[in-house]
Structure 1
């Protein structure tokens, strides 16, 4: 009998032949490995202060928030986190979502729509791409980092309302966008600037306040920032920072906020405690940058093709998707976990290892990682 899903097997075979098949790998809590694949930039996900706060919140508030934020799902913890996050970064207000993905969906769908325009960088994160698709706006995708192309798109648009959407630090190569230049273009052409600062918070800016704050834009009336709580803050969730009227509009109109269960008490308390640690230990972001730059320098000296990191992400180019997958697996077998980015996750089509720096990596661990990655490099990687 022919199944309606037989086509899935064909697609799966095609992905395997192309070296693009993906696999879920359960991680043990006591796994003995060096992690250069996760996004725990400040090393706080297992900090006892953070995990202790998460456990205490679960005991006090329960395992979940019990409902959407507009029904029973807004806790005092959410409000406290929103106030402190906004104050730390320098924004008027903040709104916590269940993930960075839902935060991006909520912003783009609520601030645009039919009859408006969105102009984006070609290397946007998938959550922003999906937000653009759901927005029903007229979307124009510009070449990566091309401010002139964005300027032209804004000049020639037909819609009165427009958003320019970008990552602050792009997740594949870790390169930093020219935020001040983009904002000047937006201001000149009456467009709002929406920036995903997921990889900037905790790494860039004074004390880790983020790339938008570093550029002096966080308090501007035409700038909206999204962040995740799952990277530098080691927890889970996302947030939007911006003018109060924007935040109020999201509460009334962002479907991924209105119809989603609120962030769990444990994740909220963990993020809040991690934010307190970041405030108290402002040297953590500088250490992350030092680790990333050291990794990149060592691997480049070994003859590999490496991106110049502007934040915590370091990319090492691979000759093919299959070679990248094998390289990552060999490193994993040697006890060093690295990310493996292949199409369609890489907008330029170039497969690579994606390494992430952590503030708590020691010099000995950096040396070990460099040795393992270099030793297992495939032919054509240098």
Structure 2
């Protein structure tokens, strides 16, 4: 792989055009360092992906909140770009039970306090073999005993807290998380779920505006990397995913920003000749937790008249005494479309929070764990039926045509 012409050389090659890769490119550009970004997909942004629906509605299929404000460069840039919802414009959120009752705000506050207390305790645990999920369950149950008198509500909150942690951590199971390492993760102070006025697109456009188009290569997958010690160069082999042609590039440095999931599947193959690197990184990559979170977005023909006024999001609290089960009509629909009802039920059980867009034309559902994998198997039509059914149950929506979504996106 060492037959490289000088025209194929640049100082730095950035692998991956997600936010990390684009941010790295901006830093290099501002310092006059020549670089090339290679991205395997046909779009930039990684987990930040905004599309425009057929009704001209901007929909964030990926990230949609800014998490934390203090020492957060994303928050600072979004503030400068004026794409965050103003503090005074933010609406309330509340818990709604599967019996259609809103949970008292004081009780809800106590539950949030319990969550933070238990997570703080988890961050301080050292040298234990106890599983993270078991630790949370034991401590949530203990704390809830002195806070929630009703056993039905108490158990519902414990299950809800466990489900929200699966989503928050992006894991398949809470027991995949190392309890003694949980405290390493830094949660930034400030609003943890700051919404955007429309989408992340202005943020992405700003990052792209600083990068020359001829230094960005889409549909370009890195398949092999080799370091030539005698020349102090790294050689990467890139395959064009459109025409299948391969090309070799050389550089002084590589900034690797692809997902840990991609590295889990491809690390030893890509860096097959780099034994020292594999020895240093293989174990860390294999043991690094990586799960799946998927999103389903429902689009409605007009602003949703069934959504409560001044409500930014609803936490869905399924009571053991009132489980949300597939209806007879839903079961018949699933049978017609050859969908496993157990997988459909798993998806419904995993939904713990729903939130609308600023224009109240869309509602998004985040789904994590095993249910997230089932989402990938199902058509948008089936997901539309399931997710709208969840809204119908909790908000007691009548099944009128005007209340039906146009479609679902995933």
Q: With structure 2 as the length reference, what TM-score do the two structures score?
A: 0.28
Q: Which structure has greater strand proportion?
A: 2
Max Rg structure: 2
Q: With structure 1 as the length reference, what TM-score do the two structures score?
A: 0.29
